[in-house]
Amino acid sequence: MASDGSYEKLGNPTVVCLTKSVDNSSSNNHYFVKDFSSAIKLLTEQGFNHVLVGGGGFCDTAALESGLIDEIYIDVEPVLFGKGIPLFRISDTNLKLQLIDHKQIGESGIQLHYRVIK
């Protein structure tokens, strides 16, 4: 968990982490689960209707493969990496997207907002 107070600045949000090694050390609005469906089940049982997914290729791909994603935000920054973490892992899932909005973020970034066409 963040020890720098960053979660407190956000109002102590509920955080669910996907991990391959669940040790049941969930506490203080932080939970650990092995798959995306378990995360959604946990959040639904707590009364959540909307979820923000952020994390990396594994997490993003699991969310897309679930079929539960309605909208996607992609932030593009002017930095190119020769190596890095891919936005999505290899998957057979294909989605069609419709651009809803775009806006500049910071001095030179752009945020793209898409709706998933189902």
Mean per-residue pLDDT of the chain = 85
pTM of this structure: 0.73
Query: Closest by alpha carbon to 70, among 117, 10, 30?
Result: 117
Contacts of 115 (CB under 8 A, 6+ apart): 70, 71, 97, 98, 100
| Per-residue pLDDT, 6 | 66
Could you give the maximum distance between any two Cα atoms of the chain, in Å? 42
What are the structure tokens assigned to 79, written together?
């930095």
More confident site: 80 or 16: 16
pLDDT in tens, 68-81: 889 999 999 888 87
Q: Which two tokens stand for residue 82?
A: 């020769």
Cα distance between residue 11 and residue 47, in whole Å: 17
